[in-house]
Amino acid sequence: MTTTKRTQTPSLDYWIHDADQHYYEPDDCYSRHIEERFKKKTMWIDRSNPDTPGRMYVGDERCQFFSVGAGDNIGAPGMMKAFLQGATEEGGSPSLNPINGLSVPEFVDAKARLARMDEQRVESSLMLPTTGVGIEPQLRASKHREALYPSVRAFNRWLEEDWGYGQDGRIFGAPMLTLVDLDEAVVELERLIKAGARFLVLTTGPVDGRAPGDPYFDPFWSRVEEAGLNIVFHIGNTPFGEMYSKPWGLRPAPPSHRHSLMEYFLAFTERPVMDTVVSLIADNLFGRFPKLRVLSIEYGSGWVAPMLGKLEKLARLYSKDMWRFGAPPMSPTETFRQNVWVAPFYEDDVVGLVETIGASQVLNGSDYPHPEGLAEPIEFVQELAGLDDDSVQRVMRENFAALIA
C-alpha cells in the first residue's frame, strides 16, 4: 500500500468491510426459542388490528423504546443523508415516506442480504440488532426481570438460526448479553463462545449500581479477553434516562424518535458511550485486561477528542482517590488508542478522528439499511479525502478484518 496524500475523494479497487449493518427482526425474535411460560413475558407484538402498525409489548407493559414494530414504518436506506450533512432541511424524520421493512427480503433474510452485499462490494459486515437494542433495559425492571435472561438467550438462538455468527466469513451477527446476573452472564457467554460468536453487544451504563469496570465483573471480562471477543456498545435504550432525565423532571424512558431536546441530549446522543468508556478507563479495566477490544458503534465521534483532552488534564491532577482500582499503566489517550475502536457518523469530521486516535482505531460503518445511514456503504470513503492510501484502506477494510481474524 502506498502513502500518497489525497486531496480528492479516494477510489477503491478492493471490497470493503462494514462495521455497522442491521437487520429488522421478525415478531418472534424473542419468543421463538423461549420457554413457554415466558412467551407473554418477553417482547411480543400485538397485530390484532391489521390497519395499524403492530403494537410492541414487554410482558403486559407497552414497550417503552419502540411503541410499534421497529420495522413496520421506516425510512428507506440513506434517505436522511443530505439532511444530516446539512445540505437540506428536508428529511429530518426517519419515518418520512415510510416503507414496511419486514417486506424487503434483504432486510430480513441472510441469503438476500448476501446478494445485496455482493452488489455493494461488501466482503463482510457486523450485523447488529434494531429491535434488540431497545429491549434489555426494560427487562431489567423488577416486574420483568424473571424474563430477562430467558429473553436474551432466546434472542441469541434466533440470531444464530437466522443470521449466524460469521461462520460463512461474511455476516457476523452480534448476540446480546447483560451483566445484571454475573453467573447467568458467564453461562451464556460460554455458550456463545462455543457457538462461534465473535462480537457481543452490551448496553452502555452502570449495572444495578455497579460500574461495568468494577472488579466484581472480572470473571466475565477475563473470559471475554481470553476468547478474543469484541464488545460492542451501540446506540439504543439505556438506563441513562433514569439517571439523567428523571432529576430534570423529564421522562426516563421516552419512545425512540420522540425525545424532547433535553431528553435527547442527556440520554440518546454520545453521553452514554462517553461516560461508559470513561468509566472503563478510570476503573483500570484495560490495565487488568489489556487485550480487551471495545467498539463504539453509531454514537458518532464528536465526543472523542474533548473527552480525551479532559481525561488527560484530570489524570495529571494528584488525588489519592483518583484511581479506585489501581492506576492504569498508560495515559487515557494511550489506553483508548489500544483498546477502543470508533465507527463515526459519516457527517462527522472523520479525518479529525483519525488524527486524534490513529487510523488503526477507526471503522467504516454504514448503518445500512437504516434511513440515517448510507444507501451504499462504499460512500463512506467520501469522508476520507485527504488521508493517505494506507489510512483509507485501514478504515474501509483492514481494521475490521483484524477484528475478525
State the chain's mean pLDDT as an integer: 93
Average pLDDT on 297-304 reads: 97
Q: Are 151 and 30 in contact (CB under 8 A)?
A: yes
Report helix, strand or coil for 230: strand
Which tens digits make up the pLDDT trace of 250-271?
A: 998 888 878 899 988 888 889 9
319 vs 336, higher pLDDT: 336
Q: What is the pLDDT of residue 94?
A: 66
Q: Contact at 8 Å (CB) between 389 and 10?
A: yes
pLDDT in tens, 11-37: 799 999 999 999 999 999 999 999 999
In 3D space, the residue among 268, 217, 230, 267 whose CA is nearest the CA of residue 245 turns out to be 267
Q: Spell out the alpha helix ranges (H) of 147-302.
A: 148-162, 182-195, 218-227, 240, 261-267, 271-282, 285-288
- Residues 151-191 have pLDDT tens digits of 999 999 999 999 999 999 999 999 999 999 999 999 999 99
Q: What angle (nearest 5°) sits at the alpha carbon of residue 34, between those of residues 31 and 38?
A: 85
Distance between CA atoms of residues 360 and 398, nearest Å: 8
Q: Predicted confidence band at 1 (pLDDT cuts at 50, 70, 90)?
A: very low
Q: What is the dihedral of CA 237, 243, 247, 253, to 10 degrees?
A: 20
pLDDT at residue 4 in the model: 40
Mean pLDDT of 380-395: 96
pTM: 0.94
Q: Which residues 6+ apart lie within 8 Å of 327 measured at CB? A: 284, 287
The burial of 248, by beta-carbon neighbours within 10 Å (0-12 exposed, 13-18 middle, 19 or more buried), is given as exposed
Backbone angle region of 14, left / alpha / beta, with phi > 0 → left and psi within -120 to 50 → alpha: beta
- List of residues 6+ apart from 197 with CB closer than 8 A: 165, 173, 174, 175, 229
CA 159 to CA 172: how far, in whole Å? 10
- Average pLDDT (207-225) is 97
Give the β-pairing of 61-62 and 55-58.
antiparallel
Asked whether the predicted pLDDT for residue 2 surpasses 70, the reply is: no
pLDDT value of residue 3 = 39
Nearest CA to 98 among 134, 67, 74? 74
Task: Pull the grid cell for residue 87.
Answer: 445540505
Q: What is the pLDDT of residue 252?
A: 86
Write down the pLDDT at residue 255. 84
Can you tell me the distance from the alpha carbon of 6 to that of 317, in angstroms, rounded to the nearest whole number? 40
- Least confident window among 118-132, 316-330, 377-391: 316-330
- Grid coordinates of 230: 469484541
With cell 478507563, the residue in question is 281
| Maximum alpha-carbon separation in the chain | 63
Q: Please give the average per-residue pLDDT across 128-141, as a whole number.
A: 95
Q: And the C-alpha cell for 254? A: 421516552
CA 331 to centroid of chain Cα atoms: 26
Give pLDDT, residue 6: 43
**Distance from C-alpha of 309 to C-alpha of 52, rounded to nearest angstrom:** 49
With a CB cutoff of 8 Å and minimum separation 6, the contacts of 401 are: 17, 124
Proportion of the chain above pLDDT 90, given as a percent: 80
